[in-house]
Amino acid sequence: MNYLEILGTYKDEMLETLKETVSINSVQSAPVRTVNGEFYPFGRGVQKALEHMLEVGEGMGFRTANIDNYGGHIEWKADSEECPKAETFGIACHLDVVPEGTGWSTDPFCPVVKDGVIYGRGVSDDKGPLVASLYAMKAVKEAGFKPKKNIRLILGCDEETGCSGMDRYTEAAGQPDLGITPDGEFPLIHGEMGILYFDIAMKLTKSSLKEGLRLTKFEAGTAPNAVPATARAVVASSEPKLYDSIRDRAAQYSLETGFTVKTKKQGSSMVIESFGTAAHGAHPELGINAISIMMDFLARINFRNEELNDYIAFYNEFIGFNLHGESIGCDLQDEPSGRLIWNVGMASFSEEMASVTVNVRYPVTCTGEDVYKGIESSITDGRIGIIKQMHDAPIYLPLDNPMVETLMDAYIKETGDTENKAMVIGGGTYAKHLNNTLAFGGLFPGEPDTMHQADERMALDSFYKMARIYAAAIVNICC
């Protein structure tokens, strides 16, 4: 039988392996040191999932490795005599899942199949694609192919919370020479935009004035890469009539703009709340930023600290509700990526400091310095500065790259889909941590994306189809 026919005989076994894997609650938890001295850096659940998959791989006759419980791999080695200097083709997946949350119609860690669809936390992100990749390796092996590259299914353990485990893994086990990560979308992600986190901040000098209004605190957001749905500011004054004025202005602002701003007394202070719509920082156009609503409203209030008033005016002039950095000098774009994506994810104000945290995703043919140069050219107020926090450089392979062409060919031969094209995304995957690696599946065009949501699910037809695609890619690239 050829490898596609062999895969057809695996369907029941594949489904059972997926159910077993999903039934392990592998949400990252606190590190554990056992009485025997073993260290589980990502908690017992992730550790159990890692040990389980390594055991499954060993049972198939593959070599396995556990890198200090930070990650591992299941490997099919090339013949050392025929290919003494064989490259390594990596398939990087992750075993950890996001917390289950609420709103499920099934038990998230007791996977069930209904109407040809499997439900459970991690079935699509990323345990389903992982299991499909493993059985693709098994089918190609049993079909009698002799790989000219080492094929290594890499098992990541903390992709959802920072990828430190993958960095630790590659330090010890080495980088693949090329590879895929089945943790994105089909047909292929051939580029991932660069990502920056930074603060735009101003130190504030306490006003010596006794009268007037103070902003004592303003907090919003929990992560740079999310559009905040709410923002909360606390103001204080010894003049109660100012509170009446703020309440009236909030009502008028809500009426004029359609945004919601509410006020309430809290002891001797007043709380102001703004309400937007949450969204992922890679798609801020799907949300409404509560920080920008709050800053727009605060511009209607005169605080006794003129530095604070200046910072609010700066924000509204140069940031506001922009989604592409167009007012602050960094509206970069290119043909593969489109426009730069700008999201203000967090705000933190006190009487000593005003600061917002920005998440930028910039085009693949640009650099982080291109972004900063544009911003710095717009910040002419010497009191306002940029505090750089994090940078992930972009990755990109052009459409005529041989690996791009080979992966697209594997997808098209199985699906017949020539309409959907390889894409560049604003998100980030393991591809940014590995050499010459691209995100390849497993979400098919037109399918609902339920990753990180209640009732996460995957059609079984898609599960088996992605296994066939991954098997074809392995044959085309490695055999």
Catalytic residues: 96, 159
- What one-letter code names the amino acid at 242? L
Separation in Å, CA 331 to CA 104, 284, 288, 291, 339: 40, 15, 20, 20, 7
DSSP annotation string for 6-44: HHHHTHHHHHHHHHHHHTS--B----EE-TTS-EETT-H
- How far is residue 237's CA from residue 305's CA, in Å, rounded to a whole number? 12
Could you give the 3-state DSSP secondary structure of residue 425?
A: strand
Contact 278, 343 (CB under 8 A): no
- How far is residue 124's CA from residue 20's CA, in Å, rounded to a whole number? 14
Nearest to 132 by CA among 10, 33, 306: 10
DSSP annotation string for 450-462: -TTSTT-EEEHHH
- Alpha helices in 10-126, H assignment, sequence order: 11-22, 44-59
Contact 140, 474 (CB under 8 A): yes
Contact 257, 251 (CB under 8 A): no
- How far is residue 319's CA from residue 330's CA, in Å, rounded to a whole number? 11
- How far is residue 475's CA from residue 7's CA, in Å, rounded to a whole number? 14
Strand partners, 386: 200
Tally Cβ neighbours within 10 Å of residue 101: 12
What does DSSP assign to residue 147? -
- How far is residue 124's CA from residue 120's CA, in Å, rounded to a whole number? 9
- State yes or no: cis peptide before 126, omega within 30 of 0: yes
**Strand bridging mode 117-119 / 457-459:** antiparallel
